[in-house]
Copies of this chain bind each other. A is one copy, B any other.
Amino acid sequence: MNQKQVSRRIACIGVGNLGRAWAAIFARAGHEVALYDSAAGAVTAALPAIESTLAAMAEADLVGDTKAVMARIRPCETLAEALVGVDYIQESVIEDVEVKRSVFRMLDDQAPPGAVIASSVSSIPPSEFMANLKGGDRCIVAHPVNPPHLIPVVEVMLGPATSEETYESCCALLSGVGQVPVRLNKEIFGYVLNRLQFALINEALHLVDGGYVSAKDVDKIVKYGLGRRWAFMGPFETNHLNASGGIEEYYSKFQGAIGGIMKELFLEPHSLSPELISRLAKEMEQTTPVADVPVRQEWRDRQLMALTGHFGDMRPTQE
């Protein structure tokens, strides 16, 4: 362990897929993890599952000494035992608003002062179970993506009373263990990742249902098309690099086609107004000024070539 870093005491509450993955993530990074689940026998059953996850990660060279990692995970029989001395709690119980409410009340009552309480909740807005808590300032959403130990992003959404200090502390911990925390500024139904996912899926269902394309071919179009770019750029950077004049030129040039699709699909289609395009362009400029687009396009192509090499495809059968 890096001498400058500190081992922290973390409690993982709930040992389903997410809770087990969190335990592996935190313990791998050198933190002490207390593991608790209210279902009898669940924690004992979770240990070999975590061990087998770590063994697979070790094979892929993503973890070193799995025994040392497992030694940092301590199964607990009571919630009180799990919470002793912890400074961060990751809650991953079932997705039910009543359960979340009662678990958060318990955690807030029993956790040491100052400990951050983060929820893995994937769809219930934090205001529905973090409101009216004594320690609302230390409660926050840290929503991972399945499987969390292999997908970096974590949506961090502030609850009704979350303090900036809690936000900073949560993000620092997540970044330190190798995840990528992203801030959602305001509460929104479904959060961001799933809203984006199901915007695409809804249109995919429409196209499959209408007989335009098979579900299998939708998968191919994303896997061999959109996904290859989105694996290392986001959708906006993809558009920014799709014209030498950047996103502003791209959206202006293809306004007819893009706007046409949006108008056909959405209740609130975006007009791609000059104001919005210019705001986006300004944000994209912070990372890649238009003058640097050609150089960044070369970077994009090198990334795509590396992915082609990784997947071993795009080879002619007759060279």
Which chain B residue has the least Cβ–Cβ distance from A234?
A: B219
Q: Give the CA-CA distance A16 to B14 in the complex, in Å.
A: 56
Q: Which of the residues B1, B29, B317 comes within 8 Å of A176, measured between beta carbons?
A: B317
Q: Give the CA-CA distance A284 to B204 in the complex, in Å.
A: 14
The answer on a CB contact under 8 Å between B30 and A319 is yes
**CB of A134 within 8 Å of the partner chain:** no
Within the complex, the shortest CB–CB distance from A115 to chain B, in Å, comes to 20
The answer on a CB contact under 8 Å between B197 and A235 is yes
Q: With A232-B227, A307-B231, A311-B232 given, is the CB distance from A260 to B189 under 8 Å?
A: yes
The answer on a CB contact under 8 Å between A230 and B226 is yes
Can you give 17 A-B contacts (C-beta < 8 A)? A1-B319, A5-B318, A56-B305, A57-B305, A123-B256, A149-B314, A150-B305, A155-B221, A178-B313, A178-B316, A188-B212, A189-B264, A199-B199, A202-B262, A222-B234, A230-B231, A264-B267
Closest 9 CB pairs of A and B: A219-B234, A227-B230, A29-B316, A5-B318, A231-B231, A60-B305, A153-B225, A150-B304, A199-B203
